[in-house]
Structure 1
């Protein structure tokens, strides 16, 4: 079994987390030939997986744990908050797990910012992905934090491959 690695991305809304994760995931899959799994935290409970009236919605609406399978995908609906190890078990095989959000998880964390930095994130980040909209010299960034180029997914991937946690 290959090593399975996990890393988390954190940052405020509209900082570019999802865009960065998409770029990184595509490069890992198509260029690095890795199996990638993604977990997205939805703290506002805004994600909608189906439409009222459809069977999968009706099943999910009962409160049951539901898996919907089709020729092209399998979707898992759960009404319970899962711990990281439970979520990892849902993914049969992957090389790299990318997690968006979930600040409390014990994973190496890349903080993503544009325009300004929020120093509240400093204690929780292992790397900082920013673009030219931020003058990093204007902030007292902890010395142990790696600086990454938000617009260079390959830079982020090389950090992930060196610093991710084995899960």
Structure 2
């Protein structure tokens, strides 16, 4: 694959977004032999990557932009909000970028729901990934929205290959 593709996933807390992204990423990496990058939005600033007292925390706590590098990984800590194109530039190379959250980004979007669908997501979604816990007949799904089986990773990956945005 020579073009870089990006797709976003959205949905309420505990809908299964992270689980789905993990399954999609693993399959793209192991079965399709693609390089995958992931951006996760943390709207409530809850994620903790750093432990108080450690050097990386102390450096980051100064307000500086910090990169921690080791033989097995490089971690980037930024004190500023970054736009999508800035974040994309941080990744050396990838075939597919999976974004969790950030529903205002101009990316094709799969919304993930279990049990019920929040209709407020309709304007932001291009596809709807649900399992048998959702009664689709109870909703008027917009005609431009693809309905995907949340448990069929192959179906979701096929949709991504057909609909993801080249970045």
TM-score tier, shorter chain, comes to: over 0.9
1:145 paired residue number: 145
1:60 paired residue number: 60
Query: Whole-Å Cα distance in 2 between the matches of residues 152 and 67 of structure 1?
Result: 37
1:107 paired residue number: 107
In the alignment, structure 2 segments of 5+ residues that lack a partner are none
Matched, 1:117 2:94: no
TM-score (norm 1): 0.99
Query: Whole-Å Cα distance in 2 between the matches of residues 150 and 26 of structure 1?
Result: 15
Matched, 1:40 2:40: yes
Matched, 1:86 2:86: yes
Query: Whole-Å Cα distance in 2 between the matches of residues 8 and 65 of structure 1?
Result: 26
Matched, 1:134 2:95: no
C-alpha RMSD over aligned residues: 0.8
Query: Whole-Å Cα distance in 2 between the matches of residues 70 and 156 of structure 1?
Result: 34
Q: Secondary structure at 1:50's aligned position in 2? A: coil
Query: Whole-Å Cα distance in 2 between the matches of residues 138 and 117 of structure 1?
Result: 9
Tell me how many residue pairs correspond in the alignment: 167
Give the CA deviation at 1:53: 0.6
Give the CA deviation at 1:118: 0.2
Give the CA deviation at 1:130: 0.1
Q: Secondary structure at 2:43's aligned position in 1? A: coil
- Deviations, residues 138-158 of structure 1 (Å, cap 9, x unaligned): 100001111111011111000
**Large movers: runs of 4+ above 3 Å:** none
Matched, 1:28 2:28: yes
In the alignment, structure 1 segments of 5+ residues that lack a partner are none
